[in-house]
Amino acid sequence: AIDFNLTNLADVFDIPGLSDILRQAVLDQLSALMVLPNKIYVSLVENVPLRLLKFVPPTGVLRIKVIAGKELKKADVGMFGLGSSDPYAVVKVGSQEFRTSVVENSINPQWNYYCEAVVDQVEGQSVLVDIMDKDPSSKDDFLGRMSLNISTLLAEGKSCAWHHLQDTKTGKINLDITWVALSDDPEHLPAEMMYIKSLSSKTPLSSSLLLVFVDSAKHLPNASQAASEPSPLVELTVGANKVCTSVKPNTNDPVWEENFHFLMANPENEEVVIEVKDGKSEKSLGHCVIPTNFLLKEKGLQLDQPFFLKDSGSESQIILMLQLKIFKSQTTAAEKPKAEVSEEKDDSVQEEEKEKEVSKTNDVVAPSLEDVVLSTVSPVLDSAKVSKEVLDESLRHRGSSSKMSTEEEKDLPKIQLTLRYSMQRNKLIVVVHKVVNLPYKDEEELPDPYVKVYLIADSKETKQKTHVCQNTANPVFDET
Ligand SMILES: [Ca+2]
Ligand SMILES: [Ca+2]
């Protein structure tokens, strides 16, 4: 894994002679790492745990069946000049990529291929399908592409249709796409398992999604008696899937705060194997196993607690948050608005929550980190062809309980911003949309808020202000 901090990254991009090739290489690496959601959290109030806010479940899952192609372009020259193609399809959703098998020598291929893509955020995201002709001894030929907006799919719940391919003269593709909602109700599990079995006997499909938030570990042992502090990382294994956190250098109490998810066929008999390792010596620092059926018995299908590590120090713990989401593929018409509500909720979470008041009750904290993050992350987003990104962060009041209900969360002050970095113009564009739920003392004395944006780079500081909105706790600015 690449491990460099964002401040250094900013410096790298500032080097004027940095070749485009190197820049592109860095961007490619980063876009691979910057798996959606590209959410960044900056604590505006000190000593407030952001843990719960950083644990953001995906919005849903798309179950995609690439059924068939028709009248595809002939990209191979045949012996008698007729020609054909050896088509396969590449499906992309965010950073996830899936590939069908190759159907040889056919312009009307039948794939009947299933894949499942986790959708973190609906806004601005598409399902992209490229059709290619496999050529054993040269670069594969492009046969056409198509894209579908995920928000449209979500509204319809299901789409089964022939789509004309773009950027080509001929060809259609038949896709069956289902929006799968995520539920906290274990009662949905048997029905979903029956349903996926009925869909395909060949492809093992998923009935649920396991979310794992690796928060931190405490009192980890050193790798050996002679060794100094370890540089720990966590390896998570579910079935054949293995993922790793980043390495935290030289600490017995690492904080990772990283999100992972695993598609599961049957959570009744699967387990998460957690192994903490020293990145330097590769030695194990402790491990534990959590069977996922534990989660089925918990309220909200959720566990948020420290787990003692085996073969580790006597006090060694790992702090994890695990949640199981049960798939609900068959959404009835009556239930549809529910799915839309949950999407709305997600949007509101995605609004950046921040406030800068005229009064000095809450001092502005850490704009530098935020801006460094912005100016470095945004070019990455550009390269990943994400035109609009919303930076997330949340403001929490001191003394509030560690768990907030959704109701309470709705009333938190929030700011909505759009951030874009234009490589051509070498400019960071910040659109201040609006702020909601600013605190105020009484109805008579509403605040007159404005937003000040700081950019701190290379110890130079620039700032810009919006206009002042008189007498409101919910100002709308829409300023760039
Ligand atoms: Ca060819
Ligand atoms: Ca070919």
Region of residue 468 (left: phi > 0; alpha: psi -120 to 50; beta: else) = beta
Instruction: Identify the three-state secondary structure at position 296.
Output: helix
Distance 142 CA to ligand 2 centre (A): 10
Domain ranges of the chain: 6-33+351-479, 60-183, 208-328
Which ligand sits closest to the CA of 138?
A: 1
Distance 144 CA to ligand 2 centre (A): 14
Which of 422, 435, 419 minimizes the C-alpha distance to 467?
Answer: 435
pLDDT at 400: 33
Cβ contact 259:211 at 8 Å: yes
Mean pLDDT per 10-residue interval, the chain, length 480 residues: 42 50 58 48 47 78 97 86 91 96 96 96 92 95 96 90 96 97 94 92 92 96 91 96 97 96 95 97 96 94 94 95 93 44 38 36 37 39 33 33 43 63 64 70 72 64 73 72
Distance 86 CA to ligand 2 centre (A): 5
DSSP calls for 183-247 = ES-TTHHHHHHHHHHHH-SSS---SEEEEEEEEEEESPPPSSTT--S--EEEEEEETTEEEE---
Cβ contact 140:90 at 8 Å: no
Distance 89 CA to ligand 1 centre (A): 15
Distance 134 CA to ligand 1 centre (A): 7
Q: Please give the Cα distance from 176 to 353 (Å, whole number).
A: 37
pLDDT at 357: 33
pTM: 0.61
pLDDT at 361: 35
DSSP 8-state symbol, 49? -
Which ligand sits closest to the CA of 136?
A: 2
Distance 445 CA to ligand 2 centre (A): 72
Distance 319 CA to ligand 1 centre (A): 52
Distance 143 CA to ligand 2 centre (A): 11
Identify residue 416 by its one-letter amino acid code.
Answer: Q
Distance 96 CA to ligand 2 centre (A): 25
Distance 317 CA to ligand 2 centre (A): 54
The 3 state secondary structure assigned to 317-367 is EEEEEEEEEEEECCCCHHHHHHHHHHHHHHHHHHCCCCCCCCCCCCCCCCH
Distance 72 CA to ligand 1 centre (A): 12
Distance 142 CA to ligand 1 centre (A): 8
pLDDT at 174: 98
Distance 327 CA to ligand 2 centre (A): 38
| Helix (H), strand (E) at residue 417 | strand 414-422
Q: Please give the Cα distance from 428 to 75 (Å, whole number).
A: 43
In the chain, helix, strand, coil percent, each to 5?
20, 35, 45
Which ligand sits closest to the CA of 104?
A: 2
Q: Is 6-33+351-479's fold the same as 60-183's?
A: yes
Q: How many CA atoms lie within 13 A of 226 on its CB side?
A: 1
pLDDT at 363: 37
Distance 81 CA to ligand 2 centre (A): 14
Distance 162 CA to ligand 1 centre (A): 24
Distance 314 CA to ligand 2 centre (A): 60
Tokens of 276: 């903490």
Identify residue 275 by its one-letter amino acid code.
Answer: E
Q: Quote the crossing angle between the two packed helices 20-33 and 367-383, to the nearest 10°.
A: 100
Distance 282 CA to ligand 1 centre (A): 45
Let me know if domain 60-183 sits in CATH 2.170.8.10: no
For residue 329, what are the contacts with CB-CB under 8 A and spacing of at least 6? 63, 178, 180, 192, 195, 196
Cβ contact 165:173 at 8 Å: yes
CATH code, residues 6-33+351-479 = 2.60.40
CATH code, residues 208-328 = 2.60.40.150
Distance 242 CA to ligand 2 centre (A): 34
End-to-end, the C-alpha distance of the chain in Å comes to: 36
Distance 75 CA to ligand 2 centre (A): 6
pLDDT at 11: 47
Q: What is the largest CA-CA distance in the chain?
A: 86
